[in-house]
Structures are given as C-alpha cells and as structure tokens.
Structure 1
Amino acid sequence: MAGARPQEPLTPAAYEAVCEETLESLCSYLEELLEVASAQPGVDVELSSGVLTVKLGEAGTYVINKQSPNKQIWLSSPVSGPKRYDFVDDGWVYRHDQQRLHELLSLELSRLLGTSVDLTSCAHAGR
C-alpha cells in the first residue's frame, strides 16, 4: 500500500454515497458491539447529518464526519487525535502513514473496550 494515491476523483454523488455507506456500516457495527461489550454509563453511538459520534464514557468520544468540499472523512479520536482520510482502493486512507480508518478504529477500540473489534468487514474498509 506504500505510495497509494487517490484513484479517479469521486463525483460529488459518488462521494456522498460512499460516505453514507461507510458511516451507516460503522454505526450499525458499533451499536451492536457497544450493546454487548459495554455496560458502562455514558456509552452511546449516534449518526446524524453525516456525523458519527461514538461516546465511550470516561474513555472519550470519537467523531467521524464527512468533509464534502475535500471529499474526505475526518476523524477525531481521543487516542490518536485528528486525522483526514482520502478514498483509495475502496477504503479510507490517512496519507501520512497509509493506515486505513477501519484498521485504526479496530485497534483503538479493541484496546479501549478490552475486547476484539474488527471493523474491516464494514463497508469501504478497503482492499
């Protein structure tokens, strides 16, 4: 994956569809996961107007949102901070280290929740 470059630019309609599928897929997975894996107070998952908010109580809050002007998805993580993802090879890639959004979230959430989390089966996790 070294040197991955964005493919042909997504049309605005294609970008919106890919973002919607990505965020809805992550939301569904995380709702089910947190229902089972965490009984702590302040845990919640919400998707509204292109913004996915994952509250993990004292562990912090993740915000994953679309950035239509840039055709990116932006992440705010309580663990690794802010990152901006480009759509490459059917997945969201952080161009500075080539790590995919779904991989980073799987690693961080596994640590925070103390259980195995694998988001790579969600929509647009990449090849």
Structure 2
Amino acid sequence: MVRSNVSRLGRLASRTLQGRMAGANFSTRFLLPQNARAKFTPATPVSRAPFSTTSRTAKPLTPAQLKTAKPAELADQEYHELSDTYLDHLLTHLEERQDTSDDIDVEYSSGVMNIKTKNGVYVINKQPPNKQIWLSSPLTGPKRYDYVVVSEDQSSKQDTAVGAWVYLRDGTSLTELLQKEIDVEIDPYGLAD
C-alpha cells in the first residue's frame, strides 16, 4: 500500500471516529439529567481536531537567529534518522509529481538523488562524516545544509524547538530552495499527513 494511501486511511478513520464521538456526546446530553451530565463531562476539553490538517511551513531564519545559528550536535543515529526521513519524504513527493507530469524525473540510488528538470539536474546526497545534506543545483550551485535547531533555550517552551536543514551562509532551508527552484511543496517530516 502506498504511503500516501495509508495516511489518507488514517485521516478517514480519525474523521469517522470524531463523527461518532460527536454524535454520542450530543445524544447523551439530552438523555442524562443536568446533575448526572457533570459526572460524565471530561475534565479537560476534548479537541475536535486532534491531528492538524494544515502544513507547517518553516520560516527563514531571522538575521538575529542566523548570527547565532549553529549546526545541531547530532549523534550518528540521529543524523541518519533525520536525513533519511527528509530524503524519503522528498522522494515520495517527487515520485508523486513524476507520476502526474513529464517535467520531472527522479532517481534515488545508493544515497544519491538525481532530479532531472527543465533547468538541469539537481543532485542531493547525504554526507555522514560532516552530518550534512549536500545539494548541487544548476541554478544556484553547490550548497551544504546543516541541521539547525531554532528556539531551544531557557526562554522557549519545552518541546517547541524547530529544526530544518539550513544553508548557514544565507539562512535558507533546503525545503525553501526546492520549493522555489523545482516548485515542489513538501512536508519534510510528514507532519501534515
């Protein structure tokens, strides 16, 4: 089963359950007396949309963030998980586009992704010794992307840090560049699915 079909089935199942739960809450509301309803009301509000259906687009680093931006200190396993996840989602989106149009051709073999477009060939590959993803673009040339975590300090809320593959010289993310040059919108970690 294709990955996109699995996520669609998950969303469909979630919507079905939400509809049934909403119907159950509505029907018991009128069947129970006022004082009994309070006993069955959950202490915390139940969200009608437990999963977000909107994609989170990464914003470019601000000049202040760029001055202090440093590559995240990743263990080898973390690097491979992050880079593999990113490249897998990118490959999925590119293959879907390849199936529907003739303006793109993608090949992925031995950790090297070749994307053939009308502008030329893009080459994307992992560089494990440097813990980077490298890109060779026919329009903007070679770039080396480091994984950067933004807003993970004492003043930030816990677990709100945002990470992205960022070219530290100009603060652009790999996702932004691919969207601009290849016109492919991706959700690098499947957050919108």
Q: So what's the TM-score if we normalise by structure 1?
A: 0.80
**Larger fraction in strand:** 1
The percent of aligned pairs where both chains have the same amino acid is 46
State the distance in 2 between where 1:13 and 1:30 align. 25
State the distance in 1 between where 2:139 and 2:84 align. 24
Offset at residue 44 of structure 1 (A) = 1.7
Name the aligned partner's letter for residue 126 of structure 2: K
Equivalent position of 1:118 in the other structure: 185
Equivalent position of 1:61 in the other structure: 121
Offset at residue 122 of structure 1 (A) = 1.9
Equivalent position of 1:92 in the other structure: 165
2:89 is aligned with 1:25? yes
Name the aligned partner's letter for residue 116 of structure 2: K
**Matched residue SS, 1:93:** strand
State the distance in 2 between where 1:96 and 1:124 align. 27
Match of 2:102 among 39, 43, 58: 39
Equivalent position of 1:15 in the other structure: 79
Offset at residue 93 of structure 1 (A) = 0.4
Two-structure CA RMSD over aligned residues (Å) = 1.8
State the distance in 1 between where 2:109 and 2:78 align. 19
State the distance in 2 between where 1:18 and 1:50 align. 14
Counterpart contact for 1:18–1:124, Cα < 8 Å: no
Structure 2: runs of 5+ lacking an equivalent: 1-60, 150-162
Structure 1: runs of 5+ lacking an equivalent: 111-116
Offset at residue 124 of structure 1 (A) = 8.6
More displaced stretch, 47-56 vs 99-108: 47-56
**Change in 2 beyond 3 A, CA 1:124/1:95:** farther
Q: So what's the TM-score if we normalise by structure 2?
A: 0.54
Name the aligned partner's letter for residue 46 of structure 1: E
State the distance in 2 between where 1:124 and 1:34 align. 19
